[in-house]
Amino acid sequence: MKKELEVINERLLGLDLVGKLKFLADSYPGKIIFSTSFGWEDQAITHLIFSNNIPIKVFTLETGRLFPETYYVWNRTLEIYNKQIHAYYPERTRLEAMVDAKGPSSFYESVENRKECCHIRKIEPLKRALAGNSIWVTGIRADQSANREEMKDLEWDEGNQLIKFHPIFNWSLDEVKAYIKDNNIVYNPLHDKGFPSIGCAPCTRAVQPGEDFRAGRWWWEDQSKKECGLHVSS
């Protein structure tokens, strides 16, 4: 796999973002997929894929606890590009069992409960979405959290047994915002209200001036525990 990554990296050299995405889509036809949560970064990549008709499947995790603003962006994106975004839902029986046993807000009670909720609503549906694919395209940027600075824009995901490609890995937030503005891309209005990172509504709040980028996610927990497990450094 190390050799395969080296070969891909060599082929990507000198290509712009559209060229890189097209090369990967051509190299892994029908086996390349992009996950969106409709945030700034993901909307930028969705625009790159849809406006250039790149054959990359786009999907989202419908946790059942998203903000109304997120559903607005989702629907507007469908209207603007007239392309399909596949939705993956939690497995019904597991979700019902958790809520029956612990109630609808058990994630506030302990890290273990929160991770259980994340696993049911996000991790397990993600596994289904990624199954059978070879390339997973993401909107990860290096400066979003400390552990992500150790990642690379192209890497092997051991847990999911596929290659991950982060096309805007080296972009700053200002660069993302500029791209959104220059291309008139629809984005989540919560971003303008202090929400740099937007997840499930009960688990996300606005960030105060001077706070960390991800301080608004699972704000009741220690900073070191603030990952749901979707993107673990390989």
What does the pLDDT read at residue 214?
Answer: 78
- Taking the CA atoms of 170, 210, 188 and 192 in sequence, report the sign of the dihedral they define: negative
Nearest to 227 by CA among 197, 187, 189, 191: 197
State how far the Cα of 37 lies from the Cα of 88, in Å rounded to an integer: 12
| Residues in CB range of 160: below 8 A, 6 or more apart | 127, 130, 136
Positions marked active-site: 228
| Residues in CB range of 121: below 8 A, 6 or more apart | 61, 63, 64, 65, 90, 95, 200
| Tokens matching residue 163 | 């290659």
**150 three-state secondary structure:** helix
What does the pLDDT read at residue 146?
Answer: 57
What does the pLDDT read at residue 72?
Answer: 98
What does the pLDDT read at residue 233?
Answer: 46
Q: Which domains does the chain have, with CATH numbers?
A: 2-189 (3.40.50.620)
Q: CA 149, 154, 160: angle at the middle one, nearest 5?
A: 95
| Residues in CB range of 211: below 8 A, 6 or more apart | none
pLDDT digits (tens, 9 = 90+) for 39-61: 999 999 999 999 999 999 999 99
State how far the Cα of 37 lies from the Cα of 200, in Å rounded to an integer: 10
Contact status, residue 122 vs residue 63, Cβ threshold 8 Å: yes
| Residues in CB range of 140: below 8 A, 6 or more apart | 41, 148, 151, 166, 169, 231
Q: What is the pTM of this model?
A: 0.91
Q: Identify the segments of the chain with pLDDT beneath 50.
A: 233-234
What does the pLDDT read at residue 59?
Answer: 98
